[in-house]
């Protein structure tokens, strides 16, 4: 991706070059660089960009199901959270509500939320499945190395309520508890079972950024005797977002609101204290609690974590100056690989010698995921950086038009990889398009 330029008193806007996926710079002679004029030019460009119509229509066509994509049988909560808004445009509201309630029916006695829910007739993989009488005909499983299932479900409920106005879901009884009580139990699970008191942050197993695979070879998604417990930005940023979402749906004077507000404040303070490297304007990858899985001569601090960082921006952890510095680092990483966007998961990748469970430039190890790059588009927009948001979304749009929706892309060949009809990519791009269009309508 090429950089955005504002030259002299001429406003330089961004326009996508549909053939190459690069950003083409278009000058508007005679215009001043006042914010209002810049916004009007950008707004008109967004509203006249037919690619947004094409990608939106394609997204809605595949958001008629709840499983993650054509390569997955399960409904994954971490995926469903990112495409629920689009789902509500094409599916009956009751169907979407029932899919959310399914995860509460499958909730563990300790409050934990599963990763995936699947019709038991199709549960054939090597997961340790669970069943419950509350959800006959369904099985569930949990990638125990991760700590984002509970937070993903809470975020999804808030999105459902915002989109539909249906607050009755909170009082829906699932077994002997309401959904609201079960949401609180999910957060309590994190505070009890995934809490690192010495840092005041939640923990998980060592993975790559937001990924769910441990370094050592074998079945890497489950905690085992090789697991190295750690703290990272992704899990904690997702928790802050979930706490903010929960506070938006409970009475401000309630005890649970006050508890969540204090917890969110403490976690944000501790993220800044322990995980944020202010001098480098980036997050350290991990704080290890029982030793590192990597050799002592491997400098993990050089690796840029984009997904967790994007979530941190969405969680409100950064001011605009920091967001610009973060975004520049994402662009720097993307410019180093021919087909990369800001969705490249990490950069540089972990060498296979230290991460034998995943080759460099494969999957979560420096593959390119719009599923998370799209969230950075949301974050840029939320912080008033709409020029950057539109420019950096541009190659993602071109890629979808060329290849359709896919789980991830190889940054050295541009090849689409993983599941086809990947609803996570469709969901985040659909949401980004709606955000930018809404802004443009007001700014034009």
Is the pLDDT at 211 greater than 70, yes or no? yes
pLDDT of residue 89: 98
pLDDT in tens, 369-428: 999 999 999 999 999 999 999 999 999 999 999 999 999 999 999 999 999 999 999 999
The larger pLDDT score, comparing residue 124 to residue 188, is at 188
* Domain edges within the chain: 49-439
Q: Tokens in use for 393?
A: 């979304």
What is the band of 33 on the pLDDT scale with cuts at 50, 70, 90? low
Q: Is the pLDDT of residue 24 over 60?
A: no
Q: Among 19, 18, 37, which residue's Cα sits nearest to residue 28?
A: 37
With the C-alpha atoms ordered 146, 149, 154, 158, is the resulting torsion angle positive or negative?
A: positive
Helix pair angle (149-164, 93-105), 10° resolution: 150
pLDDT band of 197, cuts 50, 70, 90? very high
- Tokens read off for 275: 């995980």
User: What CATH code would you report for 49-439?
Assistant: 1.50.10.10
Residue 124: predicted pLDDT: 83
- Cβ proximity of 38 and 7 under 8 Å: no
User: How do residues 224-271 score in pLDDT, each as one tens digit?
Assistant: 999 999 999 999 999 999 999 999 999 999 999 999 999 999 999 999
pTM, full prediction: 0.94
Q: Mean of the per-residue pLDDT values for the chain?
A: 93
For 24, 53, 145, 378, 397, the CA distances from 50, given in Å and listed in that order, are 16, 5, 42, 20, 11
- Residue-wise pLDDT for 141-186, tens only, equals 999 999 999 999 999 999 999 999 999 999 999 999 999 999 999 9
Query: ∠ CA 247-250-251 to the nearest 5 degrees?
Result: 110
Residues whose CB is less than 8 angstroms from the CB of residue 267 and which lie 6 or more positions away in sequence, other chains included: 200, 201, 202, 236, 239, 240, 243
Write the DSSP symbol of residue 67.
Answer: S
86-137 tens-digit pLDDT: 999 999 999 999 999 999 999 999 999 999 999 999 998 889 999 999 999 9
- Grade residue 31 by pLDDT with cuts at 50, 70 and 90: very low
Rounded to an integer, what distance in angstroms lies between the CA atom of residue 360 and that of residue 333? 15
């Amino acid at each position: 991706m090429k950089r955005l330029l504002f030259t002299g008193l001429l406003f330089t806007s961004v326009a996508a070059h549909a053939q190459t996926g690069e950003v083409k710079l278009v000058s508007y002679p005679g215009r001043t660089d006042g914010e209002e004029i810049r916004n009007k030019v950008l707004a008109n460009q967004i509203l006249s960009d037919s690619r947004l119509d094409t990608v939106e229509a394609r997204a809605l066509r595949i958001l008629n199901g709840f499983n993650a994509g054509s390569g997955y049988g399960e409904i994954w909560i971490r995926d469903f959270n990112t495409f629920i808004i689009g789902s509500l445009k094409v599916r009956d509201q009751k169907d979407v509500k029932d899919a959310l309630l399914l995860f509460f029916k499958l909730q563990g006695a300790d409050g934990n939320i599963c990763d995936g829910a699947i019709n038991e007739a199709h549960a054939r993989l090597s997961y340790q499945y669970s069943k419950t009488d509350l959800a006959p005909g369904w099985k569930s499983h949990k990638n125990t190395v991760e700590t984002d299932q509970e937070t993903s479900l809470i975020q999804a409920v808030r999105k459902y309520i915002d989109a539909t106005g249906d607050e009755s879901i909170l009082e829906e009884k699932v077994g002997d508890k309401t959904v609201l009580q079960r949401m609180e139990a999910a957060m309590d699970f994190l505070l009890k079972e995934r809490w690192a008191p010495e840092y005041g942050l939640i923990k998980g197993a060592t993975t790559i950024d937001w990924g769910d695979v441990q370094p050592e070879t074998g079945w890497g998604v489950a905690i085992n005797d090789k697991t190295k417990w750690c703290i990272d930005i992704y899990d904690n940023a997702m928790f802050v977002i979930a706490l903010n979402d929960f506070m938006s749906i409970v009475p401000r004077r309630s005890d649970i609101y006050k508890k969540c507000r204090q917890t969110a404040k403490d976690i944000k303070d501790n993220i800044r204290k322990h995980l944020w490297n202010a001098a480098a304007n980036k997050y350290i990858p991990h704080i290890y609690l029982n030793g590192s899985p990597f050799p002592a001569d491997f400098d993990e601090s050089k690796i840029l974590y984009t997904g967790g960082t994007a979530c941190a921006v969405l969680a409100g952890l950064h001011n605009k100056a920091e967001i610009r510095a973060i975004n520049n680092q994402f662009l720097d990483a993307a410019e180093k690989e021919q087909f990369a966007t800001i969705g490249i998961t990490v950069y540089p990748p972990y060498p296979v010698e230290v991460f034998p469970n995943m080759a460099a430039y494969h999957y979560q190890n420096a593959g390119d995921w719009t599923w998370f790059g799209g969230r950075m588009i949301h974050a840029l927009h939320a912080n008033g950086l709409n020029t950057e948001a539109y420019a950096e979304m541009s190659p993602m749009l071109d890629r979808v038009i060329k290849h359709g929706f896919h789980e991830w892309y190889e940054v050295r060949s541009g090849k689409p990889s993983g599941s086809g009809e990947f609803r996570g990519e469709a969901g985040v791009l659909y949401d980004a398009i709606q955000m930018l269009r809404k802004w443009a309508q007001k700014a034009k």
